[in-house]
Structure 1
Protein backbone atom coordinates (compact mmCIF):
# COMPACT_ATOMS: atom_id res chain seq x y z
CA UNK A 1 0.00 0.00 0.00
CA UNK A 2 1.01 3.63 -0.40
CA UNK A 3 2.61 5.91 2.14
CA UNK A 4 -0.83 7.39 2.86
CA UNK A 5 -1.79 4.32 4.88
CA UNK A 6 -1.28 3.81 8.57
CA UNK A 7 2.35 2.88 9.02
CA UNK A 8 1.49 -0.03 11.31
CA UNK A 9 -2.17 -0.91 11.14
CA UNK A 10 -3.16 -2.27 14.56
CA UNK A 11 -5.13 -5.49 14.67
CA UNK A 12 -8.84 -4.88 14.78
CA UNK A 13 -8.93 -1.80 12.58
CA UNK A 14 -11.58 -1.81 9.93
CA UNK A 15 -9.51 0.27 7.53
CA UNK A 16 -11.66 3.37 8.00
CA UNK A 17 -10.88 5.81 10.78
CA UNK A 18 -9.66 4.88 14.22
CA UNK A 19 -8.88 1.53 15.70
CA UNK A 20 -11.61 0.78 18.27
CA UNK A 21 -9.05 -0.62 20.72
CA UNK A 22 -6.04 1.67 20.55
CA UNK A 23 -7.42 4.81 18.90
CA UNK A 24 -4.74 4.89 16.18
CA UNK A 25 -5.74 6.66 12.98
CA UNK A 26 -4.74 6.20 9.39
CA UNK A 27 -2.13 8.71 8.32
CA UNK A 28 -2.84 10.77 5.22
CA UNK A 29 -0.09 13.14 4.13
CA UNK A 30 -1.46 16.21 2.38
CA UNK A 31 0.29 18.74 0.22
CA UNK A 32 1.19 22.06 1.82
CA UNK A 33 -1.07 23.78 -0.73
CA UNK A 34 -4.07 21.64 0.22
CA UNK A 35 -3.41 22.17 3.93
CA UNK A 36 -3.22 25.95 3.44
CA UNK A 37 -6.39 26.02 1.33
CA UNK A 38 -8.45 23.86 3.70
CA UNK A 39 -7.13 25.66 6.78
CA UNK A 40 -7.94 29.05 5.24
CA UNK A 41 -11.45 27.90 4.40
CA UNK A 42 -12.02 26.44 7.87
CA UNK A 43 -10.77 29.62 9.53
CA UNK A 44 -13.21 31.62 7.42
CA UNK A 45 -16.09 29.35 8.50
CA UNK A 46 -15.05 29.65 12.15
CA UNK A 47 -15.11 33.42 11.76
CA UNK A 48 -18.53 33.29 10.13
CA UNK A 49 -19.85 31.13 12.97
CA UNK A 50 -18.54 33.64 15.50
CA UNK A 51 -20.39 36.36 13.62
CA UNK A 52 -23.57 34.31 13.66
CA UNK A 53 -23.22 33.74 17.40
CA UNK A 54 -22.96 37.51 17.85
CA UNK A 55 -26.01 38.03 15.64
CA UNK A 56 -28.05 35.65 17.82
CA UNK A 57 -26.81 37.29 21.03
CA UNK A 58 -27.75 40.69 19.59
CA UNK A 59 -31.25 39.45 18.67
CA UNK A 60 -30.67 40.14 14.98
CA UNK A 61 -33.42 39.40 12.48
CA UNK A 62 -33.99 35.66 11.94
CA UNK A 63 -33.81 35.98 8.16
CA UNK A 64 -30.36 37.55 8.40
CA UNK A 65 -29.15 34.79 10.74
CA UNK A 66 -30.52 32.11 8.41
CA UNK A 67 -28.81 33.73 5.43
CA UNK A 68 -25.48 33.60 7.24
CA UNK A 69 -26.10 29.99 8.30
CA UNK A 70 -26.75 29.09 4.67
CA UNK A 71 -23.45 30.74 3.71
CA UNK A 72 -21.61 28.68 6.35
CA UNK A 73 -23.30 25.49 5.18
CA UNK A 74 -22.26 26.25 1.60
CA UNK A 75 -18.68 26.95 2.70
CA UNK A 76 -18.48 23.67 4.64
CA UNK A 77 -19.79 21.76 1.62
CA UNK A 78 -17.12 23.41 -0.51
CA UNK A 79 -14.44 22.28 1.95
CA UNK A 80 -15.86 18.76 1.79
CA UNK A 81 -15.64 18.79 -2.01
CA UNK A 82 -11.97 19.87 -1.87
CA UNK A 83 -11.10 17.10 0.59
CA UNK A 84 -13.18 14.53 -1.34
CA UNK A 85 -11.41 15.39 -4.59
CA UNK A 86 -8.03 14.98 -2.91
CA UNK A 87 -9.16 11.68 -1.39
CA UNK A 88 -10.30 10.37 -4.78
CA UNK A 89 -7.18 11.55 -6.61
CA UNK A 90 -4.76 10.12 -4.05
CA UNK A 91 -5.91 7.60 -1.45
CA UNK A 92 -8.59 5.94 -3.58
CA UNK A 93 -6.42 5.75 -6.71
CA UNK A 94 -3.56 4.23 -4.69
CA UNK A 95 -5.81 1.62 -3.12
CA UNK A 96 -7.45 0.67 -6.44
CA UNK A 97 -4.02 0.33 -8.08
CA UNK A 98 -3.01 -1.92 -5.17
CA UNK A 99 -6.03 -4.14 -5.91
CA UNK A 100 -8.11 -3.04 -2.91
CA UNK A 101 -11.66 -3.06 -4.27
CA UNK A 102 -13.11 -2.47 -0.77
CA UNK A 103 -12.29 1.20 -1.21
CA UNK A 104 -15.29 1.46 -3.56
CA UNK A 105 -17.63 0.63 -0.67
CA UNK A 106 -15.88 3.23 1.49
CA UNK A 107 -16.29 5.88 -1.21
CA UNK A 108 -19.96 5.00 -1.69
CA UNK A 109 -20.53 5.37 2.06
CA UNK A 110 -18.81 8.78 1.94
CA UNK A 111 -20.97 9.88 -1.00
CA UNK A 112 -24.11 8.87 0.92
CA UNK A 113 -23.12 11.28 3.69
CA UNK A 114 -23.09 14.18 1.22
CA UNK A 115 -26.31 13.40 -0.65
Structure 2
Protein backbone atom coordinates (compact mmCIF):
# COMPACT_ATOMS: atom_id res chain seq x y z
CA UNK A 1 0.00 0.00 0.00
CA UNK A 2 1.61 3.23 -1.14
CA UNK A 3 1.25 6.65 0.32
CA UNK A 4 0.03 8.92 -2.43
CA UNK A 5 -0.71 12.63 -2.63
CA UNK A 6 -4.17 12.04 -1.17
CA UNK A 7 -2.42 11.23 2.13
CA UNK A 8 -0.60 14.57 2.27
CA UNK A 9 -2.96 15.91 4.93
CA UNK A 10 -2.99 14.38 8.45
CA UNK A 11 -5.33 11.38 8.59
CA UNK A 12 -6.84 12.45 11.92
CA UNK A 13 -6.77 15.36 14.31
CA UNK A 14 -3.93 13.79 16.30
CA UNK A 15 -1.66 13.40 13.28
CA UNK A 16 -0.47 16.99 13.19
CA UNK A 17 0.47 16.93 16.84
CA UNK A 18 1.54 13.33 17.45
CA UNK A 19 5.21 13.30 16.67
CA UNK A 20 7.77 16.04 16.63
CA UNK A 21 11.50 15.88 16.48
CA UNK A 22 13.58 17.96 18.85
CA UNK A 23 17.22 17.51 17.88
CA UNK A 24 17.67 13.74 17.69
CA UNK A 25 14.94 13.01 20.24
CA UNK A 26 11.52 12.17 18.85
CA UNK A 27 8.53 12.98 21.04
CA UNK A 28 4.84 12.22 20.82
CA UNK A 29 2.34 14.99 21.20
CA UNK A 30 -1.05 13.32 21.54
CA UNK A 31 -4.27 15.24 21.91
CA UNK A 32 -5.50 15.64 25.47
CA UNK A 33 -8.34 13.20 24.69
CA UNK A 34 -5.94 10.45 23.58
CA UNK A 35 -3.50 11.14 26.40
CA UNK A 36 -6.28 11.06 29.01
CA UNK A 37 -7.61 7.80 27.57
CA UNK A 38 -4.17 6.17 27.76
CA UNK A 39 -3.54 7.47 31.29
CA UNK A 40 -6.96 6.31 32.47
CA UNK A 41 -6.34 2.82 31.11
CA UNK A 42 -2.89 2.71 32.71
CA UNK A 43 -4.29 3.87 36.06
CA UNK A 44 -6.79 1.00 35.98
CA UNK A 45 -4.00 -1.44 35.13
CA UNK A 46 -1.92 -0.06 37.99
CA UNK A 47 -4.84 -0.77 40.33
CA UNK A 48 -5.16 -4.28 38.95
CA UNK A 49 -1.46 -4.89 39.61
CA UNK A 50 -1.86 -3.73 43.22
CA UNK A 51 -4.86 -6.07 43.47
CA UNK A 52 -2.79 -9.01 42.24
CA UNK A 53 -0.11 -8.19 44.81
CA UNK A 54 -2.81 -8.24 47.49
CA UNK A 55 -4.10 -11.59 46.25
CA UNK A 56 -0.64 -13.09 46.56
CA UNK A 57 -0.19 -11.59 50.01
CA UNK A 58 -3.50 -13.25 51.03
CA UNK A 59 -2.44 -16.62 49.59
CA UNK A 60 -5.29 -16.57 47.08
CA UNK A 61 -5.77 -19.71 44.98
CA UNK A 62 -3.21 -19.69 42.13
CA UNK A 63 -5.78 -20.07 39.34
CA UNK A 64 -7.61 -16.95 40.51
CA UNK A 65 -4.36 -14.98 40.54
CA UNK A 66 -3.41 -16.28 37.09
CA UNK A 67 -6.79 -15.17 35.73
CA UNK A 68 -6.16 -11.67 37.09
CA UNK A 69 -2.72 -11.66 35.47
CA UNK A 70 -4.33 -12.61 32.15
CA UNK A 71 -6.74 -9.72 32.58
CA UNK A 72 -3.87 -7.27 33.13
CA UNK A 73 -2.01 -8.61 30.09
CA UNK A 74 -5.13 -8.11 27.98
CA UNK A 75 -5.56 -4.57 29.28
CA UNK A 76 -1.91 -3.75 28.48
CA UNK A 77 -2.40 -5.17 24.99
CA UNK A 78 -5.35 -2.80 24.59
CA UNK A 79 -3.18 0.18 25.52
CA UNK A 80 -0.52 -1.02 23.10
CA UNK A 81 -3.04 -1.42 20.27
CA UNK A 82 -4.43 2.07 20.82
CA UNK A 83 -0.97 3.62 20.90
CA UNK A 84 0.11 1.62 17.85
CA UNK A 85 -2.97 2.76 15.92
CA UNK A 86 -2.25 6.42 16.60
CA UNK A 87 1.44 5.93 15.86
CA UNK A 88 0.66 4.34 12.48
CA UNK A 89 -1.93 6.96 11.51
CA UNK A 90 0.32 9.86 12.35
CA UNK A 91 4.02 9.42 13.10
CA UNK A 92 4.67 6.59 10.65
CA UNK A 93 2.75 8.14 7.76
CA UNK A 94 4.37 11.51 8.39
CA UNK A 95 7.88 10.07 8.37
CA UNK A 96 7.23 8.04 5.21
CA UNK A 97 5.92 11.17 3.49
CA UNK A 98 9.16 12.88 4.50
CA UNK A 99 11.08 10.04 2.81
CA UNK A 100 12.26 8.50 6.08
CA UNK A 101 11.87 4.79 5.38
CA UNK A 102 13.86 3.88 8.51
CA UNK A 103 10.55 4.20 10.34
CA UNK A 104 9.43 0.88 8.80
CA UNK A 105 12.39 -0.98 10.32
CA UNK A 106 11.79 0.78 13.63
CA UNK A 107 8.11 -0.21 13.51
CA UNK A 108 8.89 -3.84 12.71
CA UNK A 109 11.34 -4.04 15.63
CA UNK A 110 8.73 -2.60 17.97
CA UNK A 111 5.97 -4.90 16.69
CA UNK A 112 8.22 -7.93 17.17
CA UNK A 113 8.66 -6.90 20.80
CA UNK A 114 4.90 -6.41 21.24
CA UNK A 115 3.92 -9.82 19.87
CA UNK A 116 6.44 -11.96 21.80
TM-score range with shorter-chain normalisation? 0.7 to 0.9
For these two proteins, the number of residue pairs brought into alignment is 99
SS in 1 for 2:26: coil
The gaps in structure 1 that reach 5 residues or longer are: 10-24
Residue 5 of structure 2: aligned partner: none
Q: 1:111 offset after TM fit, Å?
A: 1.2
- TM-score (normalised: structure 2): 0.80
SS in 2 for 1:26: strand
Q: 1:60 offset after TM fit, Å?
A: 0.5
CA distance in 2, matches of 1:111, 1:71: 21
Q: Which has the higher strand share?
A: 2
After superposition, the CA RMSD in angstroms is 1.4
Q: Which has the higher helix share?
A: 2
Q: 1:5 offset after TM fit, Å?
A: 2.6
- TM-score (normalised: structure 1): 0.81
1:29-108 superposed matches below 5 A: 29-108=29-108
Q: 1:6 offset after TM fit, Å?
A: 2.3
* 1:2-50 Cα shifts (integer Å, max 9, x gaps): 76232222xxxxxxxxxxxxxxx42211111110110010000000011
